[in-house]
Amino acid sequence: MSIQDEIKRLTAPDIRARKGREPIVCLTSYHAHTARLVDKYCDVILVGDSLGMVMHGFESTIPVTLDMMILQGHAVMRGSKRALVVIDMPFGSYEASKEQAFLSAARVLKETGCGAIKVEGGRRMAETIAFLTARGVPVMGHVGLTPQAINTIGSFRAQGREEADWGPIEEDAKAVAEAGAFAMVIEAVAEPLGRRITGQVAIPTIGIGASPACDGQILVLEDMLGLSPRVPKFVKRYSDLGPSIEKAVKDYADDVRARGFPGPEHVYGMKGKAR
Ligand code: KIV
């Protein structure tokens, strides 16, 4: 392969430079095989701590560990070539101090080779974001609904539903941008607030249930594929894989029970490799 043929991965500065330009396409992925598919069409792949709920069936993202994120981050890096891979910092791995955040983030970058990390929180995380970016860690922020705060906020309800509640969320977004984040997720806020923040901050906003006016959008892959049993109201389903998988499993089970399952002749009769 010549140098010209090499596929260059997008970087945090490339995404930062997309502010107000071509929309930034983002999806989550936790596996090598889905990452390979997502990589063809997305600019950013987020290894979200939503994997705790989607892959492991936890009720929230709280139980997710740094080791879990690093393991799935490796898988996504192996499966992708072009997209910027961003890995979520899980609850408990960065909030105690900016030094704790740096040590955790350095592990993620060194052990996975990903291009950036994401932290939840606005003004309270500004000092940490500035500390990390000054030390070579590209940070994506996350404001609005921050699922790791579930035990203090009580539910995954949309934030800033009344105009009177917009001020603190706007302040959070500005603090994250001024601290040096290269982009920020805005989750589950009133549409006019998502639009307003996008117009106010100098870095790209990535909406999830926020506003089509955001500089980019993100969804949890399994939610938009119709694989998740419960999805937020704002999720558009682009496929309905749950029933298709169930039908395939049922057909297989029927085959096996009827002893119609392909026997050895289907494998040994084949020329070349079985796979
Ligand atoms: O964990 C996650 O998947 C996320 C996205 C929903 C933005 O943070």
Q: What is the pLDDT of residues 179-232, one digit of tens each?
A: 999 999 999 999 999 999 999 999 999 999 999 999 999 999 999 999 999 899
Per-residue pLDDT, 155: 87
The CATH code that applies to domain 3-239 is 3.20.20.60
**DSSP state at residue 135:** T
Per-residue pLDDT, 18: 98
Cα separation of 129 and 123, whole Å?
A: 10
Give the burial class of 104: count Cβ atoms within 10 A of its Cβ; 0-12 exposed, 13-18 middle, 19 or more buried: buried
Per-residue pLDDT, 1: 46
What phi and psi, each to the nearest 5 degrees, are found at residue 233?
-60, -30
- Which tens digit of pLDDT belongs to each residue from 1-36? 455 556 799 999 999 999 999 999 999 999 999 999
Sign of CA dihedral 244, 246, 251, 252: positive
Residue whose CB lies within 8 A of the most ligand 1 atoms, among 38, 185, 227, for a mutation test: 185
Is the pTM higher than 0.75? The answer reads yes
Tell me how far CA of residue 212 lies from CA of 13, 20, 25, 104, 199, in angstroms. Answer: 23, 12, 12, 33, 12
Ligand 1 centroid, distance to 165 Cα (angstroms): 23
Q: Name the nearest CA neighbour of 8 among 117, 83, 113, 112.
A: 83
- Taking CB atoms and a 6 Å cutoff, what residues make up the pocket around ligand 1? 28, 46, 48-50, 88, 185, 187, 208, 218, 220
Per-residue pLDDT, 270: 58
Ligand 1 centroid, distance to 262 Cα (angstroms): 41
Catalytic residues: 187
Domain ranges of the chain: 3-239, 241-275
- Mean pLDDT, residues 48-59: 97
Nearest atom within ligand 1 for CA of residue 49? 1
- Which tens digit of pLDDT belongs to each residue from 87-133? 999 999 999 999 999 999 999 999 999 999 999 999 999 999 999 99
Nearest atom within ligand 1 for CA of residue 187? 7
Tell me how far CA of residue 136 lies from CA of 105, 111, 121, 240, in angstroms. Answer: 10, 15, 20, 41
Asked if residue 190 lies in contact with residue 213, where contact means CB atoms within 8 angstroms, the answer is: no
Q: Tell which phi-psi region holds residue 66, choosing left (phi > 0), alpha (psi between -120 and 50) or beta.
A: alpha
Asked if residue 66 lies in contact with residue 108, where contact means CB atoms within 8 angstroms, the answer is: yes
Q: Name the nearest CA neighbour of 122 among 40, 186, 67.
A: 186
